Every structure is written in structure tokens, then in C-alpha cells.
Amino acid sequence: MDGHPFSPLASYEWNVLMFYDYTDLSVDQDLPQLIGDYEEIILVAWSMGVWVGQQLFYPFAKELTAALALNGSLCPIDDQFGIPKDIVQATCDTLDEKQRVKFYARMCKDRTLYRTFLTNQPQRNVKSQKTELGVLLDITREPSSQESIYTCALIADRDYIMPTKNQLNYWPEKIVHQVDGNHFLFYAYKSWDELVKSLKF
């Protein structure tokens, strides 16, 4: 992804800092200084970003007010706890313009949601996305030995990208918040504020 699919979401009470393109996990921002300027910090991580969020924000776990794992796990490419490995490898091997559109459709499922997404689709080329997926295939092989920083796992009941049952297999039941929807859940909310307020951390 990039920032475009999230542009329909307003934000009234929060500043939003977004990370995408996980080909390189080094961060230009001075995170310790940035985090120190805020009274409340909520991490919202989605899909593969759940694993990445764990890597980037684990050192600052005590500074987080809450951390939301949205349709993802800390074993994002895994037959039992994430997206089955063969599917990710096949996607990486065959990704082109046609396959990308199919992926977006599967990610959204709902026609209205899909149309809105296409209006705001990422402005990245296939080569860039394919490279990123190849890197993720490599760096996520080993499960994290760190204790999870996530305080809530928001799981869609019809996730056809990262299977719902695999996410339920991964997360402790006490932090699971299951909702109606598909892999791309964001347009169910009008703002980041609404998304945050809908959860009980």
C-alpha cells in the first residue's frame, strides 16, 4: 500500500503518522523524539504491518496507550497463523497488473467498498509491490521471540487474504474483537477517531 487508500478517513483528534513500503524497515523519523511529544499514542497496524509494527515499536511499547492488530498476526506468512506460504509465494511469482486488480477485489469483496478503494488505490507500480512482497517473504520467516505489544486484535469475520480462522488461531481470545467485514476494513469507519473509539483496549 501507500497513503492513498486511507485518504477518505478524516482525523479530528489525532495526528496520523503512516508507514508503508516495508522493503526497508529503517525509519527517517526520530521516533523517540516524536513519541515523546505526545500524551497518547495508539498504534494501528494492518495486515503485514502488524509484524512490522512489532519490530518498529517494540522498544517503545511502554509509551503506547494501546496497540491494535487489524487483520494480521505476528506470523503473517504461516499456514496456521497467517497467510499460507504457498499462496504468498504464488502471488509474488505471478504478480502483474491483472493479478493486482484481482487481489484488490479479493481484499475488499464488497462492490461498493471495492469501487471506493479503486478510486483511492495505491500509486505504486507492480515492480515495487512485488519487490516488497519478496522481502516480506524473507524477513518474516522466523517468528518474533518478543512479547507481543498488541492490546487488541480486530479480526474481520470474512477475511479472504489472511484467513479469519488463522488469525483466531493466533491471538489470545481475551484481546480478540471480531467484526463484520473483509480484509480491508477501513471504510467501515468515517475517521480514525471512530475506529479508535469503537474498540475497548
In DSSP notation, 37-79 reads: T-S--EEEEETHHHHHHHHHHGGGGGG-SEEEEES--SS-B-T
Enumerate residues 6+ apart whose C-beta is below 8 A from 97. Answer: 126
What number is the average pLDDT over the span 42-59?
A: 96
Enumerate residues 6+ apart whose C-beta is below 8 A from 65. Answer: 40, 41, 42, 201
pTM assigned to the model: 0.96
User: How crowded is the C-beta side of 30, counted as CA atoms within 13 Å?
Assistant: 4
- The CATH number that applies at residue 71 is 3.40.50
pLDDT score of 88 more than 80: yes
CA pair distance 156, 184, nearest whole angstrom:
9
Alpha-carbon radius of gyration of the chain: 16
pLDDT score of 35 more than 90: no
CA pair distance 23, 136, nearest whole angstrom:
7
pLDDT score of 144 more than 80: no
pLDDT value at position 153?
A: 97
154-183: per-residue pLDDT in tens? 999 999 999 999 999 999 999 999 999 999
Residue 135 has a CB neighbour count (10 Å cut-off) of 16
Total domains, the chain: 1
The amino acid occupying position 63 is E
Provide the domain limits for residue 63. 4-197
pLDDT score of 198 more than 90: no
